[in-house]
Amino acid sequence: MEHHPITLHSLVPGLNQLPQQTFYALLAMLVVLAFAYRATQQLEEARAKGTHLTPDRGLTARNLAELLVGGIQSMSQGALGEQGKPYIALFGSFFLFILVSNAMGLIPGFVPPTSNFNITFALGVFSFVAFTIIGIRTQGLGNYIKHFAGPVWWLAFLMFPLEIIGNIFRPISLGMRLFGNMTGDHLVLEIFTDLTKLVIPVIFYFLGAFVSLVQAFVFTLLSMVYVSLAMGHDDEGAGHDHGHADAHDTVPAVAHGHAH
């Protein structure tokens, strides 16, 4: 007999008509918006009192938000330099939404939307659209298309289709990586919870929390790398292009290593 666990989605009248992954994705979005609203409210209150340069006492939404923004800003600075400042909000939104979505798998009765490929692929497509628009805005449409031909003109006929295919495959790669890791983590947690009930599942909850954080970090880092590649290819010299080609090969590999 097939086991159907009771979830929050199945208990909410009306909303249970939505696909399960859509319901939890909307819930994650509401959590992120509520957190952002509360952090902004606390910051405005501190500004009104003239204490906005001093951190709040204890664990508050404002302190967590400032920690998040500081971490994302450091990552962006390392990957993009000063050019990354306008996109900190984009990267922070990716990180926070994925982290909240992943963490839902640790709460009984909740299912992480990132364990469904429709959601992770949509995130990958959004990242693809974002870095494509950023690349075109930074370089212009002509130069952006031109960089797919590579630094050696007589290999353009070979490089152009390969680069286009690789570029199009990126959202699939981002979605598959996140989907595979979160599905595996959620499945392992369910299995050991059903088998042992106590003690051992606690270990996997800690492991699940770590995986949730790492996967949000990896997706955000790879999005930064792709934005860097979209912005960084220009005609200043072969050495510049070669440096970004090295980043394309090594950084995703390192990030993928952290994912496992």
| 44 three-state secondary structure | helix
CA distance 84 to 62: 23
Residue with tokens 């939307």: 113
pTM for this one?
Answer: 0.81
User: pLDDT tier at 240 (50, 70, 90 boundaries)?
Assistant: very low
Query: Is pLDDT above 90 for 33?
Result: yes
Residue 254: predicted pLDDT: 37
User: pLDDT tier at 122 (50, 70, 90 boundaries)?
Assistant: very high
User: pLDDT tier at 202 (50, 70, 90 boundaries)?
Assistant: confident
Q: What is the length of the chain? A: 260
- Please say whether the beta carbons of 118 and 50 come within 8 A: no
Cα angle 24, 26, 30 (rounded to 5 degrees) comes to 115
- 188 burial type by CB count under 10 A (0-12 exposed, 13-18 middle, 19+ buried): middle
Q: Report the pLDDT averaged over residues 171-188.
A: 87
Q: Which amino acid is at 137?
A: R
The DSSP letter of residue 233 is -
For residue range 56-76, list pLDDT tens digits in order. Answer: 888 899 999 999 999 999 999
Structure-block tokens of residue 42: 């606390």
User: pLDDT tier at 34 (50, 70, 90 boundaries)?
Assistant: very high
CA distance 126 to 223: 10
User: pLDDT tier at 219 (50, 70, 90 boundaries)?
Assistant: very high
Percentage helix, strand, coil, to 5, in the chain? 85, 0, 15
Dihedral through CA 173, CA 179, CA 180, CA 183, nearest 10?
A: 180
Residue with tokens 């952090």: 39
Q: Work out the mean pLDDT of the chain and round it to a whole number.
A: 82
Residue 215: predicted pLDDT: 93
Query: Is pLDDT above 70 for 255?
Result: no
Domain ranges of the chain: 10-259
Residue 5: predicted pLDDT: 59
Structure-block tokens of residue 247: 């980043």
Kindly list the distances between the CA atom of residue 251 and the CA atoms of 151, 195, 244, in Å, as whole numbers in the listed order.
21, 39, 10
- Percent of the chain at pLDDT above 70? 83
Q: Where are the alpha helices (DSSP H) in the chain?
A: 8-11, 20-49, 61-80, 88-103, 117-139, 141-146, 156-196, 200-232, 238-259
